[in-house]
Structure 1
Amino acid sequence: MGNLIKAEIRKTLTTKSWWGLMIPTLLFAFLFALGWGAITNNFSNYLGSSDTREITAALGIKTGELPVGLLALGHGINIGTIFPMIFGVFALAGEYTKKTITTTFLTAPNRGAALTAKMITYIGWGAIYGVIIVAASSLGTVLTVDSGRLPTAGQWLGVLGAGILATTLATLFGIGLGAVWRSVVGSVITLTIYMLVLENVLVFVGWGWLRLEWLGGVLPNGTLNGIVGAIGAEAFGAAGVAIPGLDDETKWVLQYTAGAPGAFSWWASALIFLAWTMLFFGMGWAANQKRDIT
């Protein structure tokens, strides 16, 4: 197994995908955190005065000390997770595209061992992406959010851990999707359209027309975003243990502002997205056990 993992690492480092995707990852995470930081720095102005007083009183803080930095961090990290997900697609779909999958399977004791080596290797890559994304988002947040509105040290460590967990699961999700589809182009296009457009439309329609406020908390993109975003939502009493008397509309708006509409809590989002990841990874695993590679 050790030799298979070394082979996977060397195989990845000889391609341009790992650093080619890391560049837009840094830029998007930084710019989204920078933009949302500028907006949410004056977040109390976007809430009704009664809502603001109710939230701050329940949290036991002054209005000007709302931890809006968490909201900027959430959006920066959430947009960044799309790139390790795409990177994961290359793990198997890229090999089918380049016709190297035959060599990979024939040089391993069995296909299960080859896939396990890929999974372990890309878990490491997912963690690396997580650290980079959190760092870029943190820089964008610090540059635009007042010091009194930044997360506490404990919250920042929580975001770091949640960010690494999110990017690791996102990478495995990408591997599973690519393993099922076997096409880099098809997987990436489908993934991007669904994650960035289609699901957001479904969530808005579900909330605005069907009053399904929880829909974003069970779909793949919403649960992935909720791993980090729900930490910000919980800090405002809009997820986890909610503020008593907070109406559903304000709660959903707060969740959306945190990047986690419909999220129940960060750990619930993590468990639900883990289930989605295992579903696609399991489908990819099963599809590649007996698939013809000649």
Structure 2
Amino acid sequence: MTATSPPAPARVGVLGGGRMGTGIAHAFLLAGSRVSVVERDADAADTAAARVRESLDASILRGTANEPIDAYLARFDTGTDAAQLAPCDLVVEAVPEDIALKTEALTRVEAQLGPDAVLASNTSSISIDELAAVLERPSRFVGMHFFNPVPASTLVEIVRGAATAPPLVESVRGWVQALGKTPIVVADAPGFASSRLGVAIGLEAIRMLEEGIASAEDIDAAMTLGYKHPVGPLRLTDIVGLDVRLGIAEYLAAHLGERFEPPALLRRLVAEGHLGRKTGRGFYEWDAS
């Protein structure tokens, strides 16, 4: 948090305790919020708790967290009941990138929240207006697109829906700054700004690999060395998850046309279970332990 930015919200809820959800929880814990993560069952909640503790320990070792682990854990809990999110000032939905899952999750959580609470989706591509259509209070709904890995990423894309109240956007902008991250604000459109650009580059890189134009390493080097990207598009696809990239590409193709049609190579690798870093193999070999 900078000297001029407002504080983070006092109580934050995260629906979904995967890599993104626990990363979001981590960021708000470091900013001083009390955080609750709600998962689908007890085993998933326990896994989320362990993941958050591991990431907090890593931040303490790196010197990027300034409190002892017990202080953070005293402000953190997990569970399986959306009712525990009722006192939250902000709830961020971070379930998988599937519109049916997201609309169910959002309506379930909204029913628990007070009228002034902010409900956000971490969607990377699905229309905020499309998600808002199922809500009772669309003016209190906004997109908060965090990037993976959340603790190390410095960007949050705030997506303003047609019904999103302008003062809410400014509040969310301040909360992002309180996390030590940089907000950008974009109007609702398929893929927003970041995913639309990132996926376009990633899909073209996959097509080049598929056509035998160059190796994965050389395609990535063209972007890291030639354009100063911190990581190449194929390695980044492995980090994000090939299944995640495929889902986003299919959504964008349906809304923006064939230029986002997923290459056959991407579909084949996903069908074979080669999803990138999380499975040990994608366009590269990874240590999946």
TM-score bin (small chain)? under 0.3
Relative CO higher for 1 or 2, CA cutoff 8 Å, sep ≥ 6?
1
Q: Could you say which structure has the higher helix fraction?
A: 1
TM-score of the aligned structures, taking structure 2 as reference length: 0.25
Q: Which has the larger radius of gyration?
A: 1
Relative to total residues, which structure has the larger strand share, 1 or 2? 2
- Calculate the TM-score normalised by the size of structure 1: 0.25
